[in-house]
Structure 1
Amino acid sequence: MIALPEVETIRRDLDREVSGLRIKTVEVMDAGLARRLGGRKKLSARLEKAKITNVRRRGLYLILNLDTDDVLVAHLGTGGRLRRHANRDAVEPNTVMSMTFTKSGQLRLVDGAEDATLWLANAEKLVDAVPELEVMGIDPLDQPVPWRMFGERLLAQDAKLKAILTDDSVVVGLGEMYSDEILFAAGLRFDRLPSSLGPQEVRRLHRAMVETLHDAAKHRGATLADGHYVDVHGEPGGYEEYINVYKQAGKSGRPCPRCHRPIQSYRFRRRFTYYCEQCQI
C-alpha cells in the first residue's frame, strides 16, 4: 500500500539524494513503457546529460524537474519502488527502468505489481501529458487547508465519510488504511453522512486528518504485511507500530487503545473497513 505519507517520504529522500546529479544513461527494460515514453532512442536523447534540479510532488505523482525543458513524472501504483543503487548491485526482478548518473550510482524503478508508470513531458505542457494532475483534491501534506474550507468541500459531498476520504478528487492519497485511522482519531463512524456532522465534528475530522498524515510522514510511512512499500534505500517505514484499527479485527488483532474492546470490520464498497463500535459514533 502506497499512500500520501509513503510518497512524501520517497519525495524527500529523492530530493536529497538525486537533486544536482546529472544523468549519464537511461535504460528502459519494459517494451510497453519504452513506447509510452517515446521510444528508447528519443528517451535517451532527451534525458542523457540532463541534470535533476529538484523533486516535487503533486498528490501521488513524483515530478523530477530537469535543467532542460522536460520533467520526468512517476506514479508508483500499488507496489512500485524507486530505489537508489550502486552500479554494481544485482538488478532485482521486475526492474523496468534504470537511470545511471555521472556519479553517485543509479536510480531504479521496480514494478512488481505492473501498474507503476512514467511520463516524460515538456514542463509547460505537463498537464496535457498527465491530465490527472489537474483533477486532484486537498493535499494536507502539501499545503495547509483551513478547517472551514475542508468543511465546505466535505459538506458538498453526498456520500458516506469513508467513501469521501478515499475519493482522490476530495482528499488525495489517503487510501483505505489512513482513512480508517483518521476516522478513528476523529471518533466518527465510516458510514456517517457529512450532513449529520456538527461544526466540532468537522473540526475534529480535519485535525485528525492533518495530524495522522503528518505523524505517518514523520515515521516514514507504513510497511504492512504485504511489504510493498520501502524507501529509496530499501528500508521499511515505521508507522505500522502506531496503527490503531486498520486490520486489527479478530483474535489476532489488537484491541481498541481507548476502550480495549475488539475492533470491528465491515465490508464497505467491496473492501473491509475497520472501526471501534464503542468509540466511533
Structure 2
Amino acid sequence: MPELPEVETVRRGLDQHLVGRTVEHVEVGRERVVRRTSREALIDGLTNTTILRADRRGKYLLMPLDSGDVMMIHLRMSGQVLIADRGADRPLHTHVVLSLDNDTEMWFVDPRTFGEVVVYDPANAAVELPPIARLGVDPIAEDFPRAHLRQLVRATSQTLKPFLLDQTKVAGIGNIYADEILHRARLRPDRSANTIDAAATWRLHDAIRNILNDSIKVGGSTLGDAQYVDVDGESGSFQNEHRVYGRTGQRCSTCGRGWIRRTISGGRSTHYCPVCQH
C-alpha cells in the first residue's frame, strides 16, 4: 500500500532520526525480509556503519552508508519503519532491528513479509537491485518537466491507469494516487495515453505534482487497515481528501452529478467519475 507520499513521509522521519547515527548492533528475525541476500549479509553490511543520508526513489528508501554501500528498505504492502527507545516493547512481526548509538532503535515491521531490507553496492545496482536500476523519473525527488511527460505519453498505447502504475515510466505512483491523479486531471483511466493532447498532458502533469505534494503535506493516506504509519507511529490524513478512491457508489464531490464507479483493470480496482473524467 505505501506509495510515494507515504514513503516520502517515512523518509523525512528517517532523515530526522537516523542520519548521522552509527549502527551498533543488528538483529534479523524472519529471513524472508532479507531474501535477496542473507541474514549475515545484512548484519555484516550494517554493523558499525554510519548512516549518511535518507534518500528515496519512487517507493524505495535508500540510505547511503559511510562504508560506500547503501541500505535499501522497500515497504511493499504492509511494511512499517518505526523509531523507538532501546528496550521498548516491540510490535509483533518486527523482523529487523537496528540498535543505534543514541540508545534508540529502528524497527522494520511487516506482518505480510512482502517488504525487504538490503545492503548493496550502488556501483553494482543493475545486478544486485535491478528494480531500482529500471525506475523511471521520480516526479517529486527529481526534475520532472512537462516535456518529459509529453514524450512518455506520446510513446505508448497503454491506457492511462496502467501507464501511471508503470514504475519504469514514472516512479512511485500506486493504485490510490493513480485514481486521484486521473480524477484531478479529468481523464478517464481507460483512455489510451497517446490520445491525450498537450492541454490534457499539462493537466496530468499538474495533477501528479499537486496530488502527491498535497498528500505529503498531511503525512500520506492511512486506510482502514491502519497498516501505514510514519516513524512515530502516527497516521496520515490524506484519505479524508480522496475524491474517488474507495468511494464507489457515492455522489462525485467534484461535479455533484456523477456517481463514482469501480472497475477492474489489470487485476486492480479503479475508481472514477464518468461525468468529470473524459
Are positions 1:268 and 2:265 aligned together? Answer: yes
SS in 2 for 1:84: strand
Are positions 1:212 and 2:211 aligned together? Answer: yes
CA distance in 1, matches of 2:25, 2:47: 5
- Deviations along 1:38-81, whole A, 9 cap, x unmatched? 443x5444322211111111221111111113221111111100
| Identical aligned residues as a percent | 31
- Deviations along 1:125-167, whole A, 9 cap, x unmatched? 2333111111112211111311121111111111111111111
Return the TM-score normalized by structure 2: 0.94
Q: Which residue in 2 is equivalent to 1:67?
A: 66
Q: Which residue in 2 is equivalent to 1:164?
A: 163
CA contact (8 A) 1:37 1:118 kept: no
CA 1:187 to 1:45, structure 2 compared with 1: closer, same or farther past 3 Å? Answer: closer
CA contact (8 A) 2:255 2:275 kept: no
Q: Which residue in 2 is equivalent to 1:23?
A: 23
1:12 CA displacement: 1.1
CA 1:33 to 1:78, structure 2 compared with 1: closer, same or farther past 3 Å? Answer: closer
Q: Which residue in 2 is equivalent to 1:50?
A: 49
Q: Which residue in 2 is equivalent to 1:187?
A: 186
CA distance in 2, matches of 1:148, 1:78: 32
CA distance in 1, matches of 2:30, 2:179: 36
CA distance in 2, matches of 1:46, 1:278: 54
SS in 2 for 1:24: strand
Q: Which residue in 1 is equivalent to 2:10?
A: 10
CA 1:36 to 1:263, structure 2 compared with 1: closer, same or farther past 3 Å? Answer: closer
- Matched residue type, 2:138: D
- Matched residue type, 1:157: T
CA contact (8 A) 1:259 1:279 kept: no
1:256 CA displacement: 2.7
Are positions 1:199 and 2:198 aligned together? Answer: yes
- Matched residue type, 2:85: A
SS in 2 for 1:138: coil
1:32 CA displacement: 4.0
CA 1:33 to 1:191, structure 2 compared with 1: closer, same or farther past 3 Å? Answer: closer
CA 1:230 to 1:195, structure 2 compared with 1: closer, same or farther past 3 Å? Answer: same
1:1-281 alignment runs, 5 A limit = 1-33=1-33, 36-40=36-40, 43-250=42-249, 253=250, 255-281=252-278
- Deviations along 1:257-280, whole A, 9 cap, x unmatched? 322432111222222211111111
CA 1:82 to 1:254, structure 2 compared with 1: closer, same or farther past 3 Å? Answer: farther
SS in 1 for 2:275: coil
CA contact (8 A) 1:256 1:276 kept: no
1:36 CA displacement: 4.5
CA distance in 1, matches of 2:159, 2:44: 49
SS in 2 for 1:50: coil
CA contact (8 A) 2:71 2:120 kept: yes
Question: What is the RMSD computed on CA atoms of the aligned residues?
Answer: 1.7
SS in 1 for 2:54: strand
CA contact (8 A) 2:94 2:108 kept: yes
SS in 2 for 1:52: coil
Worse-superposed segment, 20-29 or 44-53: 44-53
1:33 CA displacement: 4.1
